[in-house]
Amino acid sequence: SAFQEITSKYKDERILLVTHGGVIRQIISCILSIPFNKAQKIHLDHAGLSRVDCYDGNMDLRFINLSLPG
């Protein structure tokens, strides 16, 4: 619910959330409509980037675990 509140409050803006993997998995489970216990099996790298696009009340998972070169 906090994620939905943030995305509603800052609609049409880019937002950077720095958070624990468990929170990211919870967001992923909501977007993909899968149980959280299934999302817990998704491996997230330390300091990996994940992107969610939110528009018109919809959320799309664009990528998970992107690593920047360097």
Residue-by-residue pLDDT tens, the chain, 70 positions: 788 888 889 888 899 999 999 999 999 999 999 999 999 999 998 889 999 998 887 889 999 999 888 7
Q: Give which of 19, 21, 26 is closest to 1, Cα–Cα.
A: 26
The model's pTM: 0.81
Q: Give which of 28, 29, 7 is closest to 17, Cα–Cα.
A: 7
Quote the pLDDT of residue 2. 87
Report which residue type is found at 63: F
Q: Return the DSSP state at 33.
A: T
Distance CA 28, CA 16 (A): 16
